[in-house]
Amino acid sequence: MDLAFLSMTFLRLLAALPLTLEVWALSVAIGAVIAMGLTWMRVSGSKILSAISRGYVFVFRGSPLLIQLFLIYYGLSTFAALRASFLWPFLRDAFNCAVLSLALCTAAYSSEIFRGALAGVPHGQVEAAKACGMSGFKLFRRIIFPIALRQALPAYSTEVISMTKATALVSLVTLWDVMSVALKIRNDTAVTYAPLLVAGAIYFVLNFLIARAFIAVEYYLSAHLRRRVV
């Protein structure tokens, strides 16, 4: 194991990083939107919507992401009707299936986080806002959302970090992300440890940066809670 090999490995893995980041960013963003919908359904007061949201969370949190991914990528293609439909050009592509299943999975976890954050908004704040005459969307935008966002951040950062780790699964559906390139280098060169160690370091640094970013956002959003420097 020499320096030239390490730097070659590092550069090749770095070249695969954009795909990992793309899968990660898209699935986190789409997952967040779905999660908000699920949370809204859960707190909507409608029994049917709430039951659907609960069922969704039960299924996607109770089973491994890998089987969900395989169900979508390999399973859906069984249906001739689906293969003939307009959805097929989308679902035929491994990248789309990967993003879709990661997004569906993280949505279940995130919606529980969002629900907890909503439940943690102090009642007095909402009452005060109502007493001032705020209601509906304005109440949500000005009072509930900012407080809930701040409360959701610590748990949500954990979820977002677990998503970077989950992107490694896309290596099992033919995509060339950091994980699969590391395995390829390992296979081609028969060097056991180095490629996986370098890949691990890349993931670790990525997660470290994401964690830092969340801490910075949390710090920025809680300016009024910090002790005043006189």
Partner 1 sequence: MTWFDLLGFGPKGWGLALLQGALMTLLVSMAGLIVGAVFGSLVAWSKLSGNRPAAAVGSAYAAVFRGVPELLVIYFVYFGSSALLTGLANLIGIEGFVGVPAFAAGALAVGVISGAYQGEVFRGAYLAIQRGELEAARAVGMPTWLMFRRIIAPQVLRFAIPGLGNLWQVALKDSSLISVTGLAELMRVSQVGAGSTHQPFVFYIGGLALYLVLTSLSTRVFDVAEARATRGLRRPAS
Cα–Cα distance measured from residue 182 to residue 16, given in angstroms and rounded to the nearest whole number: 9
Residue from 37, 116, 146, 200 in contact with partner 1 (CB under 8 A): 200
Closest to partner 1 by CB, 125 vs 207, is 207
Query: Which 29-68 residues touch partner 1, going by CB under 8 A?
Result: 58-59, 61-68
For residue 164, what are the contacts with CB-CB under 8 A and spacing of at least 6? 20, 24, 203, 206, 207, 210
**Residues in 136-165 at the binding interface with partner 1, rule: CB under 8 A:** 161, 164-165
Q: Which is nearer to partner 1, 24 or 147 (CB)?
A: 24
In 10 A of CB 145, how many CB atoms? 15
If binding means CB under 8 A, how many residues of this protein chain bind partner 1? 41
Within 8 A by CB and 6+ apart from 90, the residues are: 96
Nearest approach, Cβ of 87 to partner 1 (angstroms)?
15
Q: Under the criterion CB under 8 A, does residue 12 sit at the interface with partner 1?
A: no
Tokens of 35: 């999660």
Q: Which is nearer to partner 1, 38 or 163 (CB)?
A: 163
Among 147, 166, 185, 194, binds partner 1 (CB under 8 A): 166
By CB under 8 A, tell whether 208 contacts partner 1. yes
* Interaction between residue 196 and partner 1 (CB under 8 A): yes
Q: Is 83 in the site for partner 1 (CB under 8 A)?
A: no
DSSP assigned state of 132:
T
- Nearest by Cα to 59 from 70, 46, 68, 49: 68
Q: Is 44 helix (H, G, I), strand (E, B) or coil?
A: coil
Q: Is 182 in the site for partner 1 (CB under 8 A)?
A: yes
Q: For residues 65 and 149, which CB has a smaller minimum distance to partner 1 in the complex? A: 65
Q: What is the nearest approach in angstroms of partner 1 to the Cβ of residue 4?
A: 22
67 vs 213 by CB, closer to partner 1:
67
Tokens of 48: 């049917």
HSE of 11, CA atoms in CB hemisphere, 13 A: 6
The CA-to-CA distance between both ends of the chain, in Å, stands at: 57
Give the whole-angstrom CA distance, residue 56 versus residue 108: 7
By the rule CB under 8 A, 122 interacts with partner 1 = no
Of 211, 24, 37, nearest to 115 by C-alpha is: 37
DSSP 191: -
Q: Which residues bind partner 1 (CB under 8 A)?
A: 58-59, 61-68, 70-71, 74-79, 161, 164-169, 171-172, 179, 182-183, 186, 192-193, 196-197, 199-200, 203-204, 207-208
